[in-house]
Amino acid sequence: MTFWGRTPIDKATSLLLYTKGDKTKQILHSIKYRNNIALAEEMGKMIAHNLSESNLFSTIDYIIPVPLHPAKLNKRGYNQSEIISNGISKITKIPVETDILFKTLNTSTQTKKNRFERWKNAENIYELRNSSKIKGKKILLIDDVLTTGATLEACATALHLAEISGLSIITLAYAAN
């Protein structure tokens, strides 16, 4: 299977469907902009519990959250995708790795951009460090919301450079058009 026909992935899923005006928006905003770290971790645990009966976690070696640029991380104080990942890890016992994938360019927010602008904004902005650690491993990439897939595709492309053996993706929410 490929992600949007562009990069290979094994599996992909989201816990919530995000449509305009629904409660999912409140959850996402509470996590991302209102410092609700406890909710982010609980949502991660919920993802893990909901998928515990599937075989998704049985072969995963590492969980890697979509990274924030250091400037954005310093401003916000936390990475919501990392907190969600920590919640998943508490249930699955799969280690979270935050020293592999890095965002090297402090791009503007994606929230008000159209599909094309999002893809251009996410190109070539992620790099790998310590990539030998994940060579031949199965990776679970975590993000808070999937909208156009530009961010996840850019991260997936970078991760595949490490010659990983598989990549699955989970997001807290999927934004329906």
User: Can you give the CATH number for the domain in which 113 is found?
Assistant: 3.40.50.2020
Give whichever of 1-10, 27-36, 114-123 has the largest mean pLDDT.
Answer: 27-36
pLDDT at 113: 54
Residues 2, 8 contacting (CB under 8 angstroms): yes
Q: Classify 95 as helix, strand or coil.
A: coil
User: How many distinct structural domains can be found in the chain?
Assistant: 1
The answer on pLDDT for 122 being more than 60 is: no
Please give the Cα distance from 72 to 106 (Å, whole number).
7
The residue type found at 115 is R
Please give the Cα distance from 80 to 84 (Å, whole number).
6
Write out the residue range of the structural domain in which residue 155 sits.
Answer: 2-175
pLDDT at 57: 83
**Per-residue pLDDT band at 147 (split at 50, 70, 90):** confident
**Per-residue pLDDT band at 119 (split at 50, 70, 90):** very low
